[in-house]
Chains A and B, each alone.
Chain A
């Protein structure tokens, strides 16, 4: 347990953890090669379009929804890339944004991600630069975000009902539907144009993307605690999650991947 990375609630990070997280994001955002933020964001939508949403055919499997395992692998690789760039201890895991909490229903996006500057410096958790020269037209600008009314976010009751869904496909579809709504809510619009979280193509550049998906992954993890780690459509198990080289069966257990969402460890 002690060797596992603990992914924490974004509202509960210590000052040191927040500093380490910002340092990792800031450094990664300066790197344009395959270690950097721009590279990983570009794996999701523009320009590489590896992201898996809803059901698709792949190989001999006609109706595969890899939304949850694909994003689990995506977060894992991103987390490792960020931690590689964060020279300060402690090594912090990706924080999750609990959009169903009472706090989120008051303030929306967590404060750590909604302040534009920290100590007089641009906050790398607030926005990032999109550099996508192969897009049509090319994109080179900072991300934009226009969140909606916090009262409209999903409730804890909705989350609890979701966790009680027994069947994996049904759970995936209902969770993905909530996920889709959060993207539209978070991107929002300023009357003229939408924010980047509202479009698949650019969503992953907004730093809140990773914490939104960390919450999605956490909910899958909590569902697995209730319904079984291996509770998944068997035909999905050998499917490969591009471009990570992992199969679905490789990402079922968060502890086997080196992290946990546990909120406390008490040794008696």
Chain B
């Protein structure tokens, strides 16, 4: 049994460059959920809570997306710990930009019919899941609502791609299981 709540994407926050640990990572635009989810929307009991990121684009750079619950000031220098509301990370292995001729990377250029044996376009947006059970339950212990902040840390890129606005997705589902 699963319950779902939705939050629409709205990217906010200035870009910044920074070094985390001793690596040459690049900071990128941070996502902060526009809507707070009331925790009474969740069932009283659940054994697992997932944050599903729907429609994640992956045509560009590779990055780690650090997901925080109830920490709207989280940024690339925030330590990913439980105390800071860190829920987990999803990783994007980016395609590195387009190395084909014009149209090669356009996902909707071809129309598929029911008899098409070919695989759908490799750059179709994907779903990423962060198992966030502990973080969601911790939020429920300390408050009545939660929001989500996603901090992208760009790890690798090509000369063809932007590293400032890497985090693109359609929406987040908060899904619980019993």
State whether the Cβ of B126 lies closer than 8 Å to any Cβ in chain A.
yes
Q: Is the CB of B63 within 8 A of A58?
A: no
Give the complex CA separation of A97 and B161 in angstroms: 29
Q: Is the CB of A194 within 8 A of B99?
A: no
CB distance from B102 to the nearest CB of A (A): 9
Give the complex CA separation of A45 and B92 in angstroms: 16
Give the complex CA separation of A154 and B88 in angstroms: 13
State whether the Cβ of B18 lies closer than 8 Å to any Cβ in chain A.
no
CB-CB contacts below 8 Å: A42-88 with B: 45-47, 49, 51-60
Q: Is the CB of B122 within 8 A of A191?
A: no
Q: Of the candidates B100, B127, B131, B156, which one forms a contact with A184 in the assembled complex, judged by CB atoms under 8 Å apart?
A: B156
CB-CB contacts below 8 Å: A115-168 with B: 132, 135-136, 139, 146, 148-149, 151-152
State whether the Cβ of A198 lies closer than 8 Å to any Cβ in chain B.
yes
Query: Can you list the 7 inter-chain pairs with the closest CB atoms, starting with the nearest?
Result: A198-B156, A199-B96, A194-B156, A184-B155, A181-B91, A184-B62, A187-B156
State whether the Cβ of B3 lies closer than 8 Å to any Cβ in chain A.
no
Query: How large, as a class, is the contact surface on chain A?
Result: 35 or more
Which residues in B have their C-beta under 8 angstroms from that of A95? none
Which of B30-38, B110-118, B143-151 forms contacts with chain A? B110-118
Give the complex CA separation of A188 and B24 in angstroms: 8
State whether the Cβ of B158 lies closer than 8 Å to any Cβ in chain A.
yes
Q: What would 10 A/B residue contacts be, using CB atoms closer than 8 Å?
A: A47-B100, A55-B127, A59-B116, A149-B22, A184-B156, A193-B159, A194-B96, A199-B94, A199-B96, A201-B97
CB-CB contacts below 8 Å: B37-93 with A: 58, 61-64, 89-93
Instruction: Count chain B residues whose beta carbon lies closer than 8 angstroms to a beta carbon of A.
Output: 45
Which of A5-13, A172-180, A220-228, A256-264 forms contacts with chain B? A172-180
CB distance from B68 to the nearest CB of A (A): 17
Which residues in B have their C-beta under 8 angstroms from that of A55? 126-127
Question: Using an 8 Å CB-CB cutoff, how does the interface string of B17-30 with A read, 1 for contact, 0 for none?
Answer: 00001111110000
Q: Is the CB of B118 within 8 A of A177?
A: no
Which residues in A have their C-beta under 8 angstroms from that of B158? 193-194, 199, 201
Q: Is the CB of A177 within 8 A of B155?
A: no
Which residues in A have their C-beta under 8 angstroms from that of B63? 184
Q: Is the CB of A52 within 8 A of B155?
A: no
Give the complex CA separation of A45 and B25 in angstroms: 24
Q: Is the CB of A201 within 8 A of B99?
A: yes
Residue from the set A179, A187, A198 with the largest chain B CB neighbour count within 10 Å: A198
Give the complex CA separation of A200 and B95 in angstroms: 5
Q: Is the CB of B99 within 8 A of A136?
A: yes
Q: Is the CB of B94 within 8 A of A58?
A: no
Q: Is the CB of A58 within 8 A of B120?
A: yes
Knowing A184-B64, A187-B62, A187-B156, the reply to whether A198 touches B119 (Cβ < 8 A) is: no
Closest to B117 in A: A59
